[in-house]
Amino acid sequence: MSIKEKLRHAFAVESPEDAISAEDRRILEKVAREVVRRRLTTPALMFLESVRPLNFFGSQAMVFLQPIAAFVVSPQEVERFALILEKRKSIDTLMEIIEKDDHERT
């Protein structure tokens, strides 16, 4: 491997574990559907945009709020959603899905 190739990957922060799986996407789509159904697209997008750098802390907050969120979705899905939020691309993916669902609804 050349020095140029090594340097290209030296500062990479994305790992294979950061990829959004099909199951992750299904849960993100479920969350997005609820946001759009409740007509909270704009506030949700503003909130997600503002907390994007803090997505790991958001995932920890989900663990704290799990008993409350369990009224809406299963505890396993809340736990899985918290794990998804730890991934770097999760907020961007969720925002894209919300925007797409909202566009399809209107």
Listed by start position, the domains of the chain span 21-105
Residue 47 has pLDDT above 70, yes or no: yes
Q: What is d(CA 55, CA 27) in angstroms, rounded to the nearest whole number?
A: 16
Read off the amino acid at residue 48. Answer: L
What is the pTM for the complete model shown?
0.76
Record the tokens describing residue 13, joined without a space: 């922060």
Q: What is d(CA 48, CA 55) in angstroms, rounded to the nearest whole number?
A: 9
The predicted-structure confidence for 57-85, as pLDDT tens digits, reads as follows 777 777 777 777 777 678 888 888 888 98
